[in-house]
Chain A
Amino acid sequence: MNPIIPARKLDLAFAILVVATIITWLIGEWWEGHDVLLPVMAGMLTLTFIKCRFVILDFMALRPVKFFWRGVVIGWVLLVLGLITLAYLISLP
C-alpha cells in the first residue's frame, strides 16, 4: 500500500499555495516603493517556508513517511532560507 494524502488535503494545500503566491507577488509590488527591509524580508521568507512545507508534506506525500525523509527535504529548505537570510543581513547598510 502506498502513502495516501486525502484529496481534500491536496486541494487545501493548492488553495493555500495560490493565496501565498499572490501575497508574495503583492509584497514584491509594495516593496519596490518602500524602504522597509527586515520585517518584509521575514514575512516573505516565512511565506516561502510555508509554501515549501505544503509541497513537501502534501504534494510529495512525505507527511506519512518516517521523519528522516521529511527532515532531509525540509532541512534543505531551512538551510537555503538560512543562507539567504545570512547573505541578506550581510548586505544591510
Chain B
Amino acid sequence: MTPTLAPAANEPQVAPPGDLAIWFFILAELLAFAVFFAAYAFARAKNPALFDEMQLTLNRDAGAVNTLLLISASWCVARGVHAVVANNDSARASRWLLGGLAGGAGFLVVKLFEYAHVFGEGITLSTNTFYMFYISLTFFHFMHVILGMVILTVLWAQTRKGLYTPTSANGLESGAAYWHMVDLVWIVLFPLVYVMR
C-alpha cells in the first residue's frame, strides 16, 4: 500500500484517497450507469405518458427511505475512515462501519419489499418499457449495494483487528470510495425514476 503524498500548505493533494486503481474502476462503473440513465431518460422522452403513469405504481416513500438509508450509510463510512485517518481509533471506526453496514442492509430489505410487491403484481421485464428500465436499472444498482456490503464487511473485520492506521489506510479508503459511488448513483437514480414527471 502506498501512502498518499503529504501536501504542502494550501496545495491540493495530487491523488485521491485510496488506490488509484479503485478510481479507474469507479469511473468505469459511473460510465456504465451514465449510459443506463441516458437510455432511461431518452426512452421516457419517446413516451412520457407511459412513464408518468407507471411511476405512480411505484412506492416513492420507499425510494426516499432508501435514499436516506444510503446517505446515512455513506456518512457512517466517511466517519469510520475519519476515525482511522484523523484519530487512529480503530474501535470507533469499526462501530461507524457497522453503522454503514446497517444502512446498507436496511436498503436491501426495503428494496426486497418493493421487488416483492412489483413481482407479486405479475410485473416482469417485458411488461412495458418503463418496467424494463425500472427492474434492470434498480437491480443493477441492487447488485452494487450487495458488493458494497461484502466490501464493507471485509473492511469492518480488518478495522476491528486494527489493521488500518493513519499512514496505511489505502484499503479502507478504497472500499469507502466504492461505497460512496454506490450512494452517488442512487442520488441520481431516485429523482430520475421516482420523482421526475
Could you tell me the distance between the alpha carbons of A32 and B13 in the complex, rounded to whole angstroms? 45
Return the CB mask of B1-42 against A: 1 if under 8 Å, else 0.
001101100001111110000010001001101100110011
> A1 and B167: CB pair below 8 A?
yes
Interface class of chain A by DSSP: helix
Give a binary string over B157-197; 1 marks a CB under 8 Å from any A CB, 0 the rest.
00000000011010001000100110110011011101111
Assess whether B94 is interfacial by the CB under 8 Å rule: no
Report chain A residues within 8 Å CB of B194. Answer: 28
Scoring A2, A4, A58 by chain B CB atoms within 10 A of each residue's CB, the highest score goes to A2
Q: Determine, out of B79-87, B128-136, B146-154, the stretch whose residues face the partner at the interface.
A: B79-87
B6 and A24 contact, CB distance less than 8 A: no
The residue among B7, B46, B82 with the most chain A CB atoms within 10 A of its own CB is B82
Q: How many residues of A contact B (CB 8 A)?
A: 55
| A80 and B64 in contact, given A64-B7, A67-B12 (Cβ under 8 angstroms) | no
Contacting residue for B3 out of A2, A45, A47, A69, CB 8 A: A2
Determine chain B's interface SS by DSSP, over half rule.
Answer: helix
Assess whether A66 is in contact with B41, with CB atoms less than 8 Å apart. Answer: no
Contact A91-B44, Cβ < 8 Å, known A7-B79, A59-B180, A66-B13: yes
Closest 8 CB pairs of A and B: A87-B41, A28-B195, A25-B64, A91-B45, A14-B75, A1-B6, A87-B45, A91-B48
B residues lining the A interface (CB < 8 Å): 3-4, 6-7, 12-17, 23, 27, 30-31, 33-34, 37-38, 41-42, 44-46, 48, 56, 60-61, 63-64, 67-68, 71-72, 74-75, 77-79, 81-82, 85-86, 166-167, 169, 173, 177, 180-181, 183-184, 187-188, 190-192, 194-197
Q: Which residues of A contact B (CB under 8 A)?
A: 1-5, 7, 10-11, 13-14, 17-18, 21-22, 24-25, 27-29, 31-32, 37, 41, 44-45, 47-48, 51-52, 55-56, 58-62, 64-67, 69, 72-73, 76-77, 79-81, 83-84, 86-88, 90-91
